[in-house]
Amino acid sequence: MFTYHTTEYTEELEQLGNILVQCFNATGEPTFLNRLGIENTRILKSDGEIAGGLGMLSLGQWYNGANIPMIGIAGVGIAPEYRGKGTAIALMRSVLEELYTKETPISVLFSAAQPLYRKLGYEQSGALCTWEVDTHTIQSQEHTLKVQALNLDSDLFEKLYNQQAHLNQGFLDRNSVIWQNIKDTPIYAYQFENEGYIIFEQKENYINIKDWVLLTPAAVRQFWTFLSNHRSQIDRIEWKSSPVDALNLCLPDQTAKLKWLRCWMLRIVHLQQALQRRNYPNINAELHLDIQDSMLPNNQGKFILTVENGRGIITSGGRGELALEIRSLSPLYTGLFTAEQLAQTGRLSGTPEAIQTATQIFASSTPWMPDFF
């Protein structure tokens, strides 16, 4: 019999940290938990012993210019002796029930076990990608803005990042933990006047860009010139971006390569809050939904999403013309896949009119984020 608890004692935090060290074969997890804070960790006990636990990040996520409150789930770990006994399901079910009670609209995580999290209602909903390019192929020499070293304590980072974040589907409303993750390890930071910045690690033969903001065409051109000027000592550049990256249009040829791609998973926790807080295209439409959610039964049933002037209202009832499980709503909600694509793969079913309406309502650019947690 499992019991779910908020971590109350430093000793419990240390015990959970030891479990995570073993789970992830790493040495940094206790530091990670300390950074989160004891109030943001949860544990599952069995007969008084800690069977597993996780950390929660209070964040937001941008969709169509609306900042949706979101809880990021990180460091989910189960002690070896409790694995294969439904422990992870029990832990996550308790988390979701807690978040629903708090009317949290959505939750996001990076998964090492997608089948597990799909059972809980999470689904692939956006991407985190790493690109790389050989420095000598950049060939940009156009100096458009003044480049200046930037102190890591500067408030310019957050100011410029927030201007970029609200323009992108899936970007985080970062908290102090995410900012500290970016600024960890020896890094360099430079601003392109007040139009962008770059934060990077300089390795032996390559530069790893940890964060970047480019708000104008001049900043984009200066970004590439700045990197090209490292070509005498640096062989390649790595940066995080979307699976289809507009920055590549500024390169003379198709020399940039997608090195790494990982999908993050999203869960609609509180259906009404999630659908009503999100912005929509400026159209008038009505979508009749039939949602299945065995984990959070208040999300289950028939609902009508009415969109007027870019805002949505959800009410109970309707004809249920678009039928789908709660997890299939996630990639539709973020814009990763259209309703037609989800119907083609059997993730939803509906009348042709309802599928077309859903595609119009949830139309957006590709969701991605530059942060991992």
| Domain presence at residue 368 | no
Structure confidence at residue 28 (pLDDT): 55
pLDDT tens digits, residue range 53-77?
999 999 999 999 999 999 999 999 9
Structure confidence at residue 25 (pLDDT): 82
Residues 246, 134, single domain; the answer is yes
CA distance 45 to 67: 35
pLDDT tens digits, residue range 91-140?
999 999 999 999 999 999 999 899 999 999 999 999 999 999 999 999 99
Residues 33, 76, single domain; the answer is yes
| Domain presence at residue 30 | yes
Residues 257, 133, single domain; the answer is yes
Structure confidence at residue 29 (pLDDT): 54
| Domain presence at residue 175 | yes
Residues 136, 248, single domain; the answer is yes
| Domain presence at residue 369 | no
Mean pLDDT along residues 221-247: 97
CATH number at residue 191: 3.40.630.30
pLDDT confidence bin for 363, thresholds 50/70/90: very high
Domain count, the chain: 3
CA distance 172 to 88: 26
213 Cβ contact list (under 8 Å, min separation 6) = 160, 161, 163, 164, 196, 197, 219
Residues 137, 243, single domain; the answer is yes
| Domain presence at residue 322 | yes
pLDDT tens digits, residue range 261-296?
999 999 999 999 999 999 999 999 999 999 999 999
Asked which of 216, 232, 261 is the last residue of a domain, the reply is 261
| Domain presence at residue 366 | no
Q: Please, where are the H alpha helices in the chain?
A: 10-24, 29-36, 87-101, 114-119, 156-165, 176-183, 217-228, 271-277, 326-334, 339-344, 352-361
Residues 134, 78, single domain; the answer is no
| Domain presence at residue 102 | yes
- List the domain range (segments joined by +) for residue 221: 129-261
CA distance 134 to 10: 47
Query: Alpha carbon of 88 to those of 22, 74, 95, 118: distances in Å?
Result: 16, 13, 11, 12
pLDDT tens digits, residue range 14-58?
999 999 999 988 765 567 788 899 999 999 999 999 999 999 999
Structure confidence at residue 30 (pLDDT): 60
Query: Alpha carbon of 340 to those of 298, 337, 360: distances in Å?
Result: 27, 8, 11
Residues 27, 109, single domain; the answer is yes
Asked which of 261, 290, 321 is the last residue of a domain, the reply is 261
Structure confidence at residue 309 (pLDDT): 93
Structure confidence at residue 93 (pLDDT): 98
Residues 138, 253, single domain; the answer is yes
Reported pTM = 0.94
Residues 151, 257, single domain; the answer is yes
Kindly provide the residue ranges of all beta strands, DSSP E only, lying in the chain, ordered along the sequence.
2-6, 41-46, 49-63, 66-78, 106-110, 123-134, 147-149, 172-173, 188-192, 196-202, 206-214, 236-241, 257-268, 285-292, 301-308, 311-316, 322-325, 348-350
With H, G, I as helix, E, B as strand and everything else as coil, classify residue 197: strand
Residues 247, 343, single domain; the answer is no
Asked which of 121, 156, 186 is the last residue of a domain, the reply is 121
Residues 63, 171, single domain; the answer is no
Residues 138, 241, single domain; the answer is yes
CATH number at residue 326: 3.30.1050.10
Structure confidence at residue 66 (pLDDT): 97
| Domain presence at residue 275 | yes
Query: b/e for 236-248, b at 16 or more Cβ within 10 A?
Result: bbbbbbbeebebb
